[in-house]
A and B are shown apart, each in its own frame.
Chain A
C-alpha cells in the first residue's frame, strides 16, 4: 500500500513534468503562429490602405491616370514572403526542439557517465581505506581484492566503450575481419559471454540451424554479445531465461536473442538504438548504464553490413533482438548458380 502510494505520487509528478514540457512547447508554437498571422494581417492592411491612399491621391493629382485594379504582383509577392517567413519560423522551431532534446540527452549522458565512473571509484576507494585502516581477516581481504578487480574491469569497460564508439564514428576503427563458420564460431562466442556474466548454463538455450560462412571481426562480435547478455540480465526481474537461435541459409544469417525480461513498450523499440538514449521508467529494475551500449551494438552490426531490430509484445513479455547479417557465398553455391544461368 505504501509502495502504491509512492508510485502514484511519482507518476503524478512525472506527468506534471511531461505536461509542462508539452505545454511550454505548445505555447511557443502557438505564439509563433500568432506572430506570423499578425504580420500577415498587418501586411494586407498596409497594402490595402496604401493602395486606397494612392488611388485618392492619384485621382486628385491627375484624374487621367487610370487605376483599374491593384497590381497583383506585389500583393502576392508579399504574401509569399510572409508564408516563407512562417515556414522558416516552423523550421527554426523544429530545429530548436531537436537541439533541446539533444541537450537533454547529453545532460543525461553526463549524469549517467558520472554515476558510472564514480560508483566503482568510490567502491575501490572504500575497500582500500578499509584495508588500510582495519585489521581485515585474510578471507575478507581476498573477497575485497576480487570486488576491486570487478570495479576496475567496470571502469575499463566504460572507458573502452567511449573510445571505441568514437573510433567507429570517425571511421578510424580497424576491424580484423576473418572468415568463420557461423554455426561453430557464434555459439562459442555466446557461451563465452554468458560465462563471463555468470549466466547459468541451464538458463541459456542455444539452437543452430544450417551452416554458413560469415566474415566478421571476432572482438567486435564479443562486444555485441556481451552487451546483449548484460542488457538481458539488467532488465529482468526474476530468473533470466535466454533463448538464442542462429539460423543460416544461403542468403543471410539470422540471430535472435529472446529473453523473458521486463519487455519494451512499442514506442521505445526503435529509440533504444539511439545514442545516449535510456528509458526512464519506474518499473525498470536497473538504473545503471550510459545509453551507449545498444548504440555501440548497432554501429558494429552496421559496420558488418547487417541490421539489428528489437521487438517486444509489451511490458513483462520479454524482448527479442534480431540481427541479420550477410553470409559469404560459398564457391559451390556460386558454381551451382552459374550452372543454373547457363541452363
Chain B
C-alpha cells in the first residue's frame, strides 16, 4: 500500500509541483493550504508523513508540528522553509520535527529524505510492536509514546533518540558502528556527520546513566562504535 503524505504549503505554485512529484513517486497526497487546514486534515485522516512549511497563515509550522507531536509522537515531520537561521532549525527540531530542508532544495534530495523517513517509520513501527516498553537498571522507556522514567523522574525522548535507543537495544551486547547507525536510523541523510551520533550518545547517557562520565549501559568501543548492555 502506498504511503499517504500530508503536504502543508501555502505557496500554490510550489505546492502544485510538489504534489505532482510526490504522486509520480506513488504516494497519496493531501494538500493543506494553511495551519488550520493542516490540523483539520491531520485530525480526520491517517498519514505516514507530514511535509510542513513554516510560514503559514493562521497557525505557523512550529505550532502545527507541536500539535501533531503531542497527538502522535511517532509521526515523521519534515520541515520545509525559506528561513535559514540556525534558531529556526533548532526550534523546529526541538518542537519535534524529524528533519529540516531549506528552500530552494533539490528534488532528488527531498525525495530521498522522504523515502528514508518512511523507511525508518516502517522499521520502527514493526520493531516496537513486539516490545513497546523496555526496562533496564531503574530506567523505563515507552517506545510508543517516547515517555521515559528514571527512578521517579519522567522525561520525553525525541523520535531520533528513541530510534537510536531501540536500535541499540535490538543489538544488545553487540558492537554497533556509527556507519550502521547512519544507515539504519538516519538512512544516510547527507548532512548528518558521525559527530552528530556522538552528541546523541552524550544526551542518552545523561538520560539513562547514573554517572554519564562512567557509563554502564551505553558503552563506547574504541575505534568501533557503541554497545548497549542492560546488565551491569
> Does A122 touch B at the CB level, under 8 Å?
yes
Q: Are B103 and A119 in contact (CB under 8 A)?
A: yes
Among B13, B20, B39, which residue has its beta carbon within 8 angstroms of that of A120?
A: B13
A105 to B13, CA, bound (A): 28
Contacts of A283 in B (CB 8 A): 58
A76 to B24, CA, bound (A): 84
Near A by CB (< 8 A), chain B positions 30-45 give 34-36, 39-40, 43
> Does B83 touch A at the CB level, under 8 Å?
yes
Near B by CB (< 8 A), chain A positions 275-291 give 282-288
> Does B132 touch A at the CB level, under 8 Å?
no
Interface centre among A111, A114, A118, A282 (most CB of B within 10 A): A118
Contacts of A222 in B (CB 8 A): none
Residue numbers of B with Cβ under 8 A of A are 10-11, 13-14, 16-18, 20-21, 24, 34-36, 39-40, 43, 55-59, 63-64, 66-67, 82-84, 103-108
Interface size in chain A (residues, C-beta < 8 A) = 36
- Apart from A10-B63, A122-B14, A126-B18, list 7 A-B contacts with CB within 8 A: A118-B82, A118-B104, A122-B104, A123-B13, A129-B106, A285-B57, A287-B56
Contacts of B58 in A (CB 8 A): 7, 282-283, 285
Contacts of B34 in A (CB 8 A): 285
Contacts of B20 in A (CB 8 A): 130, 140
Q: Are B13 and A287 in contact (CB under 8 A)?
A: no
Among A121, A130, A151, A282, which residue has its beta carbon within 8 angstroms of that of B107?
A: A130
Among A115, A133, A147, A286, which residue has its beta carbon within 8 angstroms of that of B17?
A: A147
Q: Are A122 and B21 in contact (CB under 8 A)?
A: no
Contacts of A287 in B (CB 8 A): 10, 55-57
Q: Are A123 and B14 in contact (CB under 8 A)?
A: yes
Among A5, A117, A147, A282, which residue has its beta carbon within 8 angstroms of that of B13?
A: A147
Q: Are A144 and B17 in contact (CB under 8 A)?
A: yes
A207 to B21, CA, bound (A): 47
Q: Are B39 and A2 in contact (CB under 8 A)?
A: yes
